[in-house]
Amino acid sequence: MRRSSAVPLVLFASAASSLAAVSTLAAPGQPLKTGTPGQFEIVGNTLVSAQQLFLGTENKVYIVDKTENNPTQINQHPAWASEYNVDTNVARPMDVLSNSFCAGGGVLGNGTWMNVGGNQAVTYQGATAPSQLGGPPYDDLDGGLAFLDVCANDDNCNWVDNPALYMSTRRWYPTLETLEDGSIMILGGCLWGGFVNAASQNNPTLEYFPPRNGGTPIGLNILTTTLPANLYPITYLLPSGNIIIQTNFGTEIYDYKNNVEHTLANIPHAVRTYPASGATAMLPLTPANNWTATVIFCGGSNIKPDQWVETWHIAQYTADKTCVRMTPDVSAVWEDDDMLPEPRSMGNFILLPDGTLFMTNGAMTGVAGYGVNISWSIHDSYADHPITAPLIYDPGAPAGSRFSRAGLANSTINRMYHSTATLLPDGSVIIAGSNPHPDYTVGPNIEYPTEYRAERFYPSYYNKRRPQPQGLLSQLSYGGSYFNVTLTKDDLAGDIGNIQKTKVVISRTGFSTHAMNMGMRHVELDVSYTATADGATLHVSQLPANSAIIAPGPALCFVVTNGVPSVGKMIMLGNGQIGQQPVTTPQKLPVSSIPAGVGSGSSSGSGSGSGGKNAAGRVFDGKTAVIAGAVALVSSAAALVMV
């Protein structure tokens, strides 16, 4: 790839109501649209290529593209960003001046979104511009920092670049990880761009936003030992407060508070980072697994460090089909998981509110990236044989049966390099992008053109009547008093017994780019219930008393009954400010109760979480323990049930 340089760019967007007092939310209603479960639908036009994408408000998705020749204009130059309204399917171009080519992103604890990193100003076909201070043809700028307050109340907000907040070093392909205090760690990247990283332009450091140390970058050894495929290192803040970093074949636990790196065994079978680009996610954190984190990596490509050269036909090289997972805070060893049905690079996992993971996008051969005038590329693309068939991964299913395609139709759109996806509040997924080109490229002879069509995918629950819970809160604390949410018999699908299969799920949808959603996380709150013959009250704990389980900032809140989610509400986690979060002891939940003869039974729900329950207590990864708190005698069909 003949990319030029990388200069930091940060774009901001504040979401949700940060400092507002906690309020009780109106009950969510039903989805505004219909869709066919298991199918994709083409819904609109993103105006720019969706290289980066995130859900900023309940109905607005923000898209940021690299500098390129999109036909849509704004302020006398092509648009490189848009705001896509998922209710109306109308996109509004937004102005971005600096070149946000292959940025990372995330959301701060006060609700402000960041888009970090980028490229030098370019002219057509991604060639470096003669001036980095603006000028023809695009009048774009060398990267910088920009801010946006997302349009919570109107449609007039804009990105704002702020050179005063530039990072101290150049980062092309950085990763962002939101921390326990709502600040953000920015890791890695390279200085000038290219297909992969190289010692000559590596940036083996991290820094924080807001800056710590006066902004001086901190060295990170793993980024010196994992060249060249160590761009966009895959990171997850763990409940222990450490960070797992996986990049190229290397893996470590990083104790960032003490700046100590603990090297782990290499990841088996394949490279999962860009350009191999495996799918990755943290599995749901639930009361049943004691909010213990397991991370999963699927697909990618088994390419050795000396093979990342453009002198062989990478586009026809078969991708990897293995999945591996690790539960780093408990046992930092790799375990093989079920294999993908076919090899896949650039698959993108999306956590659904029912606790399953949806996988979309990608290709069976080749890798991410593109090259100009590379003899073997497919009209620039370094991947071929796109996969349009989605998958559902159920982490709670027995090994050997976790992947399923039952009831799922294929998409009609090939989506490979520079594709994105995010969960929406109605439980559908929006999918956009694919642009394996240095510039906007369409035409009858182009195999994999620049793609502007946005699609929605409708999971199996989509058309079921959604619960309409009363009493959800606009803001949750770490620990503290529980609150009550009421559900009618209709909300419980006509069976009061479904209260025993009702969950409250907090879902951070994350910042989607390059087959990963940075910050994506699914946390189930602890609950108990008081049921009557007519309805039920769900007693809902606040967030677990540990902000490393899910960092402060905006997230969606769903009530999920027997696998059917309510429409999600955008709420604030924590106090809405960047800084150490107040943590208090969780109030004990009332003992669950359900009248004798009410409801159809007491079996635990399926399709979510990674643990199960039995009459002796909660089962965590094979270990059995009783958690202090709600333990109930349930006098329905089964005699004794722990809740």
- Contacting residues toward ligand NAG, per CB under 6 A: 2, 14, 18, 108, 110-112, 210, 290, 372-373, 387-389, 410, 483-484, 530, 537, 539, 578, 590, 625, 627
Could you tell which of Cu ion, ligand NAG, none binds residue 396, using a CB distance below 5 to 8 A set by kind? none
Interacting stretch for Cu ion, rule CB under 5 A, among 95-103, 123-131, 388-396, 562-570?
95-103
Interacting stretch for Cu ion, rule CB under 5 A, among 98-106, 154-162, 341-349, 559-567?
98-106
1 or 472: whose CB is closer to Cu ion? 1
Q: Are 594 and 634 in contact (CB under 8 A)?
A: yes
44 or 174: whose CB is closer to ligand NAG? 174
Two tokens, residue 104: 């990372």
446 or 627: whose CB is closer to ligand NAG? 627
287 or 355: whose CB is closer to ligand NAG? 287
Nearest distance from residue 296's CB to ligand NAG, in Å? 20
Q: Are 510 and 517 in contact (CB under 8 A)?
A: yes
Report which residue's Cβ sits closest to ligand NAG.
389
Q: Tell me the sheet residues that pair with 348.
A: 360
Q: What is the DSSP letter of 499?
A: G
Nearest distance from residue 136's CB to Cu ion, in Å? 25
Could you tell which of Cu ion, ligand NAG, none binds residue 578, using a CB distance below 5 to 8 A set by kind? ligand NAG
Q: What is the DSSP letter of 307?
A: G
Q: Are 339 and 359 in contact (CB under 8 A)?
A: no
> How far is it, in rounded angstroms, from Cα 423 to Cα 465?
19
Nearest distance from residue 546's CB to ligand NAG, in Å? 7
Q: Is 19 exposed, middle or buried (0-12, 13-18, 19+ CB in 10 A)?
A: exposed
Nearest distance from residue 443's CB to ligand NAG, in Å? 16
Interacting stretch for Cu ion, rule CB under 5 A, among 100-108, 129-137, 197-205, 612-620?
100-108
Two tokens, residue 185: 């760690």
420 or 475: whose CB is closer to Cu ion? 420
> How far is it, in rounded angstroms, from Cα 550 to Cα 559?
18
29 or 210: whose CB is closer to ligand NAG? 210
424 or 589: whose CB is closer to ligand NAG? 589
Distances (CA, A) of 426 to 259, 285, 581, 624: 41, 21, 30, 35
Could you tell which of ligand NAG, Cu ion, none binds residue 373, using a CB distance below 5 to 8 A set by kind? ligand NAG
How many other C-beta atoms are found inside a 10 Å radius of the C-beta of residue 399? 9
441 or 575: whose CB is closer to Cu ion? 441
Could you tell which of ligand NAG, Cu ion, none binds residue 102, using a CB distance below 5 to 8 A set by kind? Cu ion
Two tokens, residue 284: 């749901």
> How far is it, in rounded angstroms, from Cα 443 to Cα 342?
29
Amino acid at position 370, single letter = Y
How many other C-beta atoms are found inside a 10 Å radius of the C-beta of residue 391? 23
> How far is it, in rounded angstroms, from Cα 64 to Cα 418?
11
- 3-state SS record for 129-149: CCCCECCCCCCCECCCEEEEE
- 3-state SS record for 9-20: CEEEEECCCCCC
Could you tell which of ligand NAG, Cu ion, none binds residue 387, using a CB distance below 5 to 8 A set by kind? ligand NAG
Phi/psi of residue 343, nearest 5 degrees: -60, 150
Could you tell which of ligand NAG, Cu ion, none binds residue 410, using a CB distance below 5 to 8 A set by kind? ligand NAG
Two tokens, residue 476: 């949750």
> How far is it, in rounded angstroms, from Cα 495 to Cα 75?
57
Distances (CA, A) of 620 to 292, 610, 631: 9, 8, 16
State which H helix or E strand residue 222 sits in: helix 222-225
Q: Are 375 and 433 in contact (CB under 8 A)?
A: no
102 or 556: whose CB is closer to Cu ion? 102
Interacting stretch for Cu ion, rule CB under 5 A, among 99-107, 381-389, 463-471, 526-534?
99-107
Q: Are 206 and 221 in contact (CB under 8 A)?
A: no
Could you tell which of ligand NAG, Cu ion, none binds residue 2, using a CB distance below 5 to 8 A set by kind? ligand NAG
109 or 188: whose CB is closer to ligand NAG? 109
Interacting stretch for Cu ion, rule CB under 5 A, among 102-110, 113-121, 202-210, 232-240?
102-110
Nearest distance from residue 544's CB to ligand NAG, in Å? 9
Could you tell which of ligand NAG, Cu ion, none binds residue 486, using a CB distance below 5 to 8 A set by kind? none
Nearest distance from residue 275's CB to Cu ion, in Å? 9
Nearest distance from residue 123's CB to ligand NAG, in Å? 11
Distances (CA, A) of 640 to 538, 547, 630, 633: 19, 33, 13, 5
102 or 223: whose CB is closer to Cu ion? 102
Nearest distance from residue 32's CB to Cu ion, in Å? 33
* Short-list 46, 98, 48, CA closest to 73: 48
Interacting stretch for Cu ion, rule CB under 5 A, among 70-78, 96-104, 219-227, 597-605?
96-104
Nearest distance from residue 339's CB to ligand NAG, in Å? 15
How many other C-beta atoms are found inside a 10 Å radius of the C-beta of residue 638? 12
Nearest distance from residue 290's CB to ligand NAG, in Å? 4
229 or 632: whose CB is closer to ligand NAG? 632
Q: Which of 55, 63, 102, 227 binds Cu ion (CB under 5 A)?
A: 102
Could you tell which of ligand NAG, Cu ion, none binds residue 619, using a CB distance below 5 to 8 A set by kind? none
Provide the binding-site residues for Cu ion, judged by CB under 5 A: 102
